[in-house]
Amino acid sequence: MNSNSPIDRLIHELRAFRDERDWAQFHSPRNLAGSICIEAAELLEIFQWADLKPPFNEEIRTRLRDEIADVAIYLLLLSDQVEVDLIEAVNDKISKNRDRFKPSHK
């Protein structure tokens, strides 16, 4: 890992935040995966009963930003704990999807 990458710096900050509060005991892979689902549901809740489309007002943008950050935080913590390089995994998945889903215009 390149300790100067933005992702690595975020993970370092998240570990420090977690460890300062003694929360590692609650961060099993299952709990982190569950937390991703919970935060993703809170993100979805913003759109419940509303057909919101960009551009969003400042209140909606703030709520979206907070919930997206919550999902990302738990995803980063989970990927760190299960030793998955998130950038590598995403790049690999993009490659697999390119092979699996060919462009419709060809």
CATH number, domain at 63?
Answer: 1.10.287.1080
Query: So what's the pLDDT on residue 106?
Result: 57
Residue 55, domain member (yes or no) = yes
Are the CB atoms for 27 and 81 separated by under 8 Å? Answer: yes
CA–CA separation, 91 and 68 (whole Å): 20
Give the count of domains, the chain. 1
CA–CA separation, 1 and 8 (whole Å): 7
Q: Which domain holds residue 76?
A: 27-100
2-21 pLDDT per residue, tens = 578 999 999 999 999 999 99
Predicted TM-score (pTM) of the model is 0.89
Which stretches in the chain have pLDDT values below 70?
Answer: 1-2, 106
Are the CB atoms for 86 and 79 separated by under 8 Å? Answer: yes
